[in-house]
A and B are shown apart, each in its own frame.
Chain A
């Protein structure tokens, strides 16, 4: 219907943006009515989102025409940006930038490299960048969720952890349950993605491939492969990130330094 009204694709896009932004603002106003104030965050996120995605579109025009090795730098930039965003989300925990950077680098980076080497992901920029970005984005979320959970669990169990330390236990022993629950909770959404695939949701990649003329069966199988890669990248990132942060949780003399402010004041 809209495509009949707007013959120019750019005008069609602008109309679609206006319609969806209006919808978002209406929902935000609805939340405000219930005294849930999201206005500022939503407006900032909307502006960031549209500017970033349009800029990426412009960059992709050049990157996709350029040599394939350029995609390495694009993915590195994405990992760097994802680490910065994770740092913003979890900056009350010391050392989260590097834990996220190495975590996402290891998780998403290793999976992308392996899958390119064995040919699951085509090495062309047009394939590596979109699939890689999905892995980086999901690894970022899993890493942040794991770090946040670990942080809150450790801060909620300071007394128990120090009771163990005071009995001569190693720091790794005392935080092992919180490492396990952090990784587990960060992976639940990814496991849900795998189990609900095709029934509850048909992801965009598959839809795009079908629209681009791929065989629907192949598009479906490839989509499954991508979701499986997302799980692998997320799992590796979550494990690596919390293990790296565990090293920052204790001093060299095995003293707990990741503490709630109240406990720090009481010392």
Chain B
């Protein structure tokens, strides 16, 4: 009689915070995004690069569910995001657009907007802390009309952070800024992402910027995933 003993060795189970499965979007005959399959780990910074019209913004909009996939889906923390309320997805996957669209009124009103949608009133201390975090201390009562481009983008970032997101989607957040403001906002972003352990997907045209802040890069061409790897691998591919 022989005995066989099985030793169960569980594999390391790692739930990806974001996983796209055959993610596609098409409008009429135009394919914007086609069969993108990627996985993003918690705390990872993924740069999204590619030529104009490659579908980078559409990709981020699909992850934020501002656009609907025509096929495929996104898994957020292991769950198909179509089974979750869109407002919850958008609160937890915050997005900062290329152009900072601020709501009319004061900066404090803008920052408290997101939490207010969930019935939460942001304390003035929390607003002050967020503004300090983005390098705009004492700006609470300022009107949005009196801001420079860099300041407006910082307010937009603080407004998104006020929702306490787990993932940050950044659509060329520094492209509309002058070089000085670009450097400041980039440093600010790097610090916040590291300190808050945020997962981040950032669109950038600037390969040097991608190399500075991202762990990996995703290269899109005509809506298709052309390459994914470390930033160096993508640069030298």
Contact = CB atoms under 8 A, between A and B. Distances in A.
Interface string A134-170: 0000000000000000000000000110111111111
B90 A255 contact: no
Given A170-B87, A255-B67, A164 B32 contact: no
B219 interface: no
Interface stretch (B57-65, B135-143, B193-201): B57-65
13 contacts: A160-B101, A162-B101, A165-B90, A166-B64, A166-B94, A167-B159, A167-B163, A168-B87, A170-B117, A267-B25, A267-B27, A267-B57, A267-B67
B97 interface: yes
A168 B160 CA distance: 10
Given A168-B114, A168-B118, A251-B68, A160 B27 contact: no
Given A253-B68, A255-B67, A255-B68, A167 B117 contact: yes
B223 to A, nearest CB: 11
A264 interface: yes
A267 B68 contact: no
Contacts of A160: 101, 103
Contacts of A170: 87, 117
Nearest to A162: B66
Q: Which 8 residue pairs spanning A and B have beta carbons closest together?
A: A168-B91, A163-B101, A167-B114, A159-B101, A168-B87, A254-B86, A166-B95, A168-B90
Interface residues of A, number: 20
Interface in A155-212: 159-160, 162-170, 173
Nearest to B88: A168
Interface in B136-179: 156, 159-160, 163
A264 B99 CA distance: 17
B76 interface: no
Interface in B28-45: 32
Nearest to B98: A159
A253 B94 contact: no
A228 B128 CA distance: 52
> In the complex, which of the residues B57, B68, B88, B118 has the most CB atoms of chain A within 10 Å of its own CB atom?
B68
Interface of B: 25, 27, 32, 57-58, 61, 64-68, 82, 86-88, 90-91, 94-95, 97, 99, 101-103, 113-114, 117-118, 156, 159-160, 163
A266 B57 CA distance: 9
Nearest to B87: A168
B169 to A, nearest CB: 9
Contacts of B32: 267
Contacts of B57: 266-267
Given A166-B95, A169-B113, A253-B68, 13 more contacts: A163-B103, A165-B66, A165-B90, A166-B94, A167-B90, A167-B91, A168-B87, A169-B117, A170-B87, A253-B82, A253-B86, A255-B65, A256-B66
A256 B90 CA distance: 14
Contacts of B91: 167-168
A241 B143 CA distance: 34
A250 to B, nearest CB: 10
A169 B82 CA distance: 17
A254 B87 contact: yes
A159 B160 CA distance: 15
A159 B87 CA distance: 17
Given A159-B99, A173-B117, A167 B68 contact: no
A163 B61 CA distance: 11
A162 B27 CA distance: 19
Given A166-B66, A251-B68, A267-B67, A159 B97 contact: yes
A152 B115 CA distance: 29
Contact of B97 (A163, A256, A266): A163
Contacts of B27: 264, 267
Contacts of B87: 168-170, 254
A168 B84 CA distance: 13
B67 A164 contact: no
Contacts of A165: 66, 86, 90
Contact of A255 (B66, B103, B163): B66
A161 to B, nearest CB: 9
